[in-house]
Amino acid sequence: MTVVPETRHAPTPDAPTVVSVARGGTSTHPVELRTGTFLAPCAMRRPGRAQRVALTGVRASLCAGDEVELRVDVGPGAELELTDPNGTLAYNARGGRAAWRARLTLAEGARMTWHEPSFVVADGADVLREIDVVLAPGAELLWWETLVLGRAGERGGALRSLTRVERDGAELLVEDLDLRDSAERELPGITGRARVLGQVGLFGRVPADPRGPDRLDLAGPGTLWRAAARRTYLVDTELGPVWRAWGGHG
Amino acid sequence: MGDTTDGTGALGVLLLADARLPTGAHAHSATLEAALAAGLRTEQIPDYIRARLRGVARAEAAAAVLALRAARENPVDFAPIQAALAARTPSRALRDASASLGRGLTRLARGLFPEHSAVAALATAPDDTPGLRVLRPIPLGALGAAFGMAVDQVARAALYDEAQCVAAAALKLRPGDPIAATRWVVDAAPDIEESVRVAVGATVPGDVPARSAPQLDRWAGAHAYSTRRLFVA
């Protein structure tokens, strides 16, 4: 795999990172890869029809006051593989707050996979995470997210993670994972003793397999598979086969 | 002012909170059976009630409030409320549990108030959620309208029923002192009232709370796979 250099724009304060791809002929190519304040998209060359883009950190984030914004646009029939190999670490905000927002728009027949290996909320961090997904008819998103409360030995800071997936104009999934109050999140039924919450979500299609108690079939066309554990590798071990069975790369 | 209420909706409040109501609620544990199977300790049950009241029960109470308000409109359209609640309930096992209670309440509503416009509209409630039967809060709101109940009365009935459902199931699963179990419900009053306030504040389907409870979803899923169980959900 080689890194293809692309034009980088000078970032303005808290500017959004933009990843926009379109289909041309049988393959997908970048339309716009714009470096934001915090993340730089990097086009990767690889065999196959999909365009792979890796996100790399421009500077340390998330600190108090940071507002990371990622906008992804996948054109009709295009295929994008988005990876975030380094993950995100939200630092102790010492009373301040940070936000991490992503808006994904998939046009008709578009496909996208998105792998977030870790989103770590360190002790003292206070983070609002908002993911908005808009799917046109026939579009499909496979997304693996990993939320980690605290670095090793920590209990973790405050996290509120809002997820909204809309398909063909109707809500497919709306979730408000509110882990801001550590006593409340340890109530039975919320996170229990888990520190790492992983989830593979397939939206736009219902896969046949695998099946099991951790599989959540949505009311509309979509399925989640969740895993929760004390350690990230345990979650990865459970979710890896699901990710691959549902068409994930790597 | 006298020392009595005007009676509006009062009978509805009593009926909807009565375990003898023929809706099939006795077969439900509000996922307590699965929680205990997964290791929840008896002394944690009050916390479990609290978590339910702030999560799934609050969403259902808000949906019931919206359903009651929709039931007073002309024409009555429950479909957007059912769709909003379905999108906020990723677990099929929890949707099935709500639909099973919804079926009992729908049967009751049709038997008691066959001519009521809100009861007739229950037939089109699943229009935007193919394959999913009517969820519990929808007929609860329709019955509330037919009984002339206020929105907070319907919300409180839904929340009280949730707390009482856990407490009653606990007595079957971990037999103990029924007065202690009743105390759990009484002690949950602040959480019930807080959720009533949130539920009554809902004005559009997008206001239905979407509080995620991953561990609860897992327990509900495991229960659906279990072959040895006392309660359906």
- ipTM given for this complex: 0.95
User: Cα torsion for B162, B169, A183, B37, to the nearest 10°?
Assistant: -130
Contact flag A226-B51 (C-beta cutoff 8 Å): no
Evaluate whether B182 touches B167 at the Cβ level (below 8 Å).
yes
Comparing B7 with B69, which gets the higher pLDDT?
A: B69
Chain B residue with Cα closest to A223: B90
Query: Residue A71 domain-assigned?
Result: yes
Query: Residue A26 domain-assigned?
Result: yes
- Residue A106, CB-side half-sphere exposure with 13 Å CA sphere: 29
Query: Residue A153 domain-assigned?
Result: yes
Question: What domain count does chain A have?
Answer: 1
Query: Residue A250 domain-assigned?
Result: no
CB of A149 less than 8 A from some CB of B: no
The residue range of the domain holding A116 is 2-245
Per-residue pLDDT of B170-211, as tens digits, reads: 999 999 999 999 999 999 999 999 999 999 999 999 999 999
Per-residue pLDDT of B2-60, as tens digits, reads: 687 777 789 999 999 988 899 888 899 999 999 999 999 999 999 999 999 999 999 99
Chain B residue with Cα closest to A175: B210
Chain B residue with Cα closest to A166: B87
CB of A178 less than 8 A from some CB of B: yes
Orientation of helix B137-147 relative to helix B79-87, angle to 10°: 140
pTM of the model: 0.94
Query: Residue A24 domain-assigned?
Result: yes
How far is Cα A8 from Cα A6, in angstroms, rounded to an integer? 6
CB of B129 less than 8 A from some CB of A: yes
Evaluate whether B222 touches B233 at the Cβ level (below 8 Å).
no
CB of B87 less than 8 A from some CB of A: yes
Query: Residue A92 domain-assigned?
Result: yes
Chain B residue with Cα closest to A174: B88
Give the pair of three-digit tokens for residue A125: 């961090």
Per-residue pLDDT of B144-167, as tens digits, reads: 999 999 999 999 999 999 999 999
Nearest by CB: B87 against A174, A184, A188: A174
Per-residue pLDDT of B216-226, as tens digits, reads: 999 999 998 88
CB of A219 less than 8 A from some CB of B: yes
Query: Residue A25 domain-assigned?
Result: yes
Contact flag B47-A188 (C-beta cutoff 8 Å): yes
Q: How far is A8 from chain B (nearest CA, A)?
A: 39
CB of B50 less than 8 A from some CB of A: yes
Q: Are strands A140-149 and A51-57 parallel, antiparallel or unpaired?
A: unpaired
Task: With CA atoms as reference, report the closest residue to A145 among A105, A200, A86, A70.
Answer: A200
Orientation of helix B56-71 relative to helix B45-54, angle to 10°: 40
- Averaged in consecutive runs of 10 residues, what is the pLDDT profile of chain A (250 residues)? 46 81 95 96 88 91 92 98 92 90 98 96 96 98 97 92 97 97 91 94 97 96 97 96 93
